[in-house]
Structure 1
Amino acid sequence: MRIMVFLISLLIILFTSFCATAQGLNLQESIKLFDQKQYEKAQVHFQSLFEKHPDHVDVACYLAKSALASGDYGKAVEVLEKAVKIDSTRGDCYYVLGLAYARTIPEVGVLKKMGVAKKMQGAMLSAVRLAPDDSDVRISLISFYLSAPGFAGGSLEEAKKHLAILKEQSPDRTFIIDGSVLEKEEKYPEAEAVFRKGVLEKRTPMNVFSLAGYLMRRKQFEEAISLFNEFLAMDPGWQDPKKAGGYFMLGLIYEARKMQKESETAFRASLALHPDPWMEKEINNRL
C-alpha cells in the first residue's frame, strides 16, 4: 500500500513538473517571438497563455506590450488594469499601462480625454515610484509633463525636475527630452542642435523620428522627408513610433507642399499598415 501511495505521489510530482516545464517553454517561446518583433504573432501566443493563467502578471505585461505594438491599445489597458490590482508593486506594468493610456487619448471624446490623461499621469507616477532607476519610465513621465496641457497635469517645471534626475542616471538618454524642453521654451537653434546630437550619438528609430518631427514643425521639409524615409527603412521596436506614423507624417509634409500625388501615396501606405484609429480618420478625411 505504501509503495502504491509513493508511486502515485511520484507520478503526480512528475506530471506537475512536466506541465510547469511545458508552460515555461510556451512562455519562453512567446517571449522569443516578442524579442524577434513578431508582435502580432506574439500577441496571439500571450493571449492563449493569459486565458489559461489570467493571474500571471508576467504574461499579462507581455500581452499588453504585444498589444501596444500591434495597435490594440484597448486590450493593453484592459489587461494591465487587472494586472496591477493583482500585483501593485510592478513598476514595469504601471509603465506599460501609462503608455497604453497615452495611446488611447486621441481615440476618446473630448470629455473623456481629461480622465484618461489623469489615469496616465497616475500610472507613470506609480511607475517612477516603484522603478526610480528605470530611464524609460522617467522619460515617459517627463514626456507627459511636456505634452499635457496645464489643466490636465502638464508642467514644464516638473519636466525639468525629472530631467535633472535623468541626466544624473542616464546622460546618454536625454537628447529627445532636452530638445523637447528647449523647443517648448522656443529656443529653436539650441533645440535643433540637441536633436541632431542625439542622432549623431545614437541613430535609433526614436532619435531619427524625433529629429524629423522637429524639422517638420520648423518647416525644414526637405531634410524631414529624408529622415522619415530613413526611419521607414529601420526596424522600430514596440516602444518606438510605428511605420504607419512615419508615412502619415510624410503625407502631411507633401500635403503642405501641395504635392497631391505624393501625399496620397504616403497616406495610402500608412493605411496599409493599419494606423491608429484617429490617424486613419485623419487620412480618410484627406483622401
Structure 2
Amino acid sequence: MRVFIVSLFLSLCAVASDVDRAQKLYDHTDYQAALDALNKSSEGKTAVGWELAGKASYQLGDFKKSIEYFEKAVQANPNNSVYVNWLGRAWGRRAETANPFMAPGYASKARQFFEKAVALNPKDVEAVNDLFSYYLEAPGFLGGGMDKAMTLAEQIRTNDAAEYHFALAQIAQRRKQYDLAEGQLRKAVDLAPKQVGRVIDLARFLARRGKYGESETIFQQAAKVDPNAKRILYARAESYIDTNRNLDVARKLLNEYLQAPLSPEDPSREDARRLLKRVTAD
C-alpha cells in the first residue's frame, strides 16, 4: 500500500511538473516548446492547460488554434473573466489578420467576449482595458464609439487612477487635443512613477510631437526606473524609426533587443524583426 501511495504521489507530481515546465517555457518565450509540453501531458486537457496552450498559440500567431483552446477553457470554467477576455483577444487578432469579408464578424465576437469578461468581473483590469481599446478603435457599426469609451473610462478610474489618465490621453489624441493628451500622460507618470510603461508612453508621445530632446530625457528616466526593462530598447528604436531619425542607433537597439531575454509582456521578436526591416541599410 505504501509503495502504491508513493507511486501515485510521484505520478501526480510528474503531471504537475509538466504544466510548471510549460509555464516556465512560456515565460521564457519558448512558446512552441510550451505547447508541445502541454500536448504531451494529461494536465494539458484541463482549464489551466487549455488557457496556457491558448496563450502560447496566440503568441505564435495561430489565432484559430488559440480560439479553440480558449473555447475549451471557457467551457470548463465559464465564469472565469481571464479566460473569456483572452478568447476575445484571440478573436480580435483573428479579425486583424482576416480577409475583409470575415473580419467584421470576428471583431464582433471579440467585442462580445470583452463585454462578457467585464460583466463577469468589473475589477478585471486587463478586461476593462481591452474593452476600452476596442470601443476607442472600432467603428460604430462594429459596436465601438467614443461615447462608450468615455463611459468605460470612468470605470477604469475605480480600478487604476494612472490607467484612467492614460485612457483620457488616448481619447484626447483621437480628438487631436494634443496638449490635453500630454497633460494626462504626465499625470499618469506622476501617479505611477515606478511603472516603466507609463514613462515609455510619455517618451514616445513627446517624440511624435517633435519634442525630441525631452523625449530622450524621458527615455533615460525610464531606464533608471527599470534598468532591466528590455522593452525600452524596442520603444526607443520604434520612436526613432517612426520619426525618421537616429536610424543607425535604432538598428543597434533592435539587434540588442533580439539578443536579449524577453518575457511575454515584451514586444515579440517577430515584431522587432519587422521593425528592423523598416531600417534600410546604408
* TM superposition score category, shorter chain reference: 0.7 to 0.9
Instruction: Give the match for residue 275 of structure 1.
Output: 270
What TM-score do you get using the length of structure 2 for normalisation?
0.75
Instruction: Give the match for residue 84 of structure 2.
Output: 94
The whole-number CA distance in structure 2 between the counterparts of 1:109 and 1:209 is 33
What are the superposed Cα offsets for residues 186-245 of structure 1, whole Å, 9 maximum, x if unpaired?
332222111112123323233123223322332333333554564695436xxxx79646
The 5 Å alignment of 1:74-85 reads: 74=63, 76-85=66-75
The whole-number CA distance in structure 1 between the counterparts of 2:90 and 2:25 is 21
The whole-number CA distance in structure 2 between the counterparts of 1:284 and 1:86 is 42
Alignment size in residue pairs: 266
Secondary structure at 1:89's aligned position in 2?
coil
The whole-number CA distance in structure 2 between the counterparts of 1:270 and 1:113 is 32
Amino acid at match of 2:38: L
Structure 2 unaligned segments of length 5 or more: list them.
260-267
In the TM superposition, what is the alpha-carbon distance from 1:262 to its structure 2 partner?
A: 4.1
Instruction: Give the match for residue 284 of structure 1.
Output: 277
The whole-number CA distance in structure 2 between the counterparts of 1:82 and 1:242 is 36
What are the superposed Cα offsets for residues 245-268 of structure 1, whole Å, 9 maximum, x if unpaired?
653333222x2x4x5544555566
Q: 1:194 aligns with which of 184, 209, 212?
A: 184
In the TM superposition, what is the alpha-carbon distance from 1:33 to its structure 2 partner?
A: 5.9
The 5 Å alignment of 1:231-270 reads: 233-235=227-229, 244=234, 247-253=237-243, 255=244, 257=245, 259-262=246-249, 264-265=251-252
What are the superposed Cα offsets for residues 94-127 of structure 1, whole Å, 9 maximum, x if unpaired?
2223333444554444444323322221221121
Structure 1 unaligned segments of length 5 or more: list them.
1-6
Contact 1:179 1:195 in 2 (8 A): yes
Contact 1:145 1:158 in 2 (8 A): yes
Contact 2:247 2:279 in 1 (8 A): no
* Alignment CA distance shift 1:114-1:164 (3 Å): same
* Alignment CA distance shift 1:27-1:261 (3 Å): closer
The whole-number CA distance in structure 1 between the counterparts of 2:46 and 2:170 is 37
What are the superposed Cα offsets for residues 57-83 of structure 1, whole Å, 9 maximum, x if unpaired?
112223334555x55453544422332
The whole-number CA distance in structure 1 between the counterparts of 2:116 and 2:102 is 21
Amino acid at match of 2:11: C
Moved more, 222-231 or 77-86: 222-231
Q: Is residue 2:9 matched to residue 1:20?
A: no
Instruction: Give the match for residue 204 of structure 2.
Output: 213
The whole-number CA distance in structure 2 between the counterparts of 1:131 and 1:209 is 29
Instruction: Give the match for residue 61 of structure 1.
Output: 51
Q: Is residue 2:117 matched to residue 1:127?
A: yes
Instruction: Give the match for residue 222 of structure 1.
Output: 213
Amino acid at match of 1:235: A
The whole-number CA distance in structure 2 between the counterparts of 1:61 and 1:242 is 29
Moved more, 98-107 or 152-161: 98-107
Amino acid at match of 1:167: R
The whole-number CA distance in structure 2 between the counterparts of 1:181 and 1:153 is 17
Instruction: Give the match for residue 4 of structure 1.
Output: none
Q: Which has the larger radius of gyration?
A: 1
Contact 1:30 1:46 in 2 (8 A): yes
What are the superposed Cα offsets for residues 260-283 of structure 1, whole Å, 9 maximum, x if unpaired?
544555566677762339x72x75
The whole-number CA distance in structure 2 between the counterparts of 1:150 and 1:165 is 21
Secondary structure at 2:45's aligned position in 1?
coil
The whole-number CA distance in structure 2 between the counterparts of 1:137 and 1:246 is 28
Instruction: Give the match for residue 44 of structure 1.
Output: 33
Secondary structure at 2:123's aligned position in 1?
coil
Indicate the RMSD between aligned Cα atoms, in angstroms.
3.5
The 5 Å alignment of 1:146-157 reads: 146-157=136-147
Contact 2:80 2:120 in 1 (8 A): yes
Secondary structure at 1:88's aligned position in 2?
coil
Secondary structure at 1:39's aligned position in 2?
coil
Instruction: Give the match for residue 264 of structure 2.
Output: none
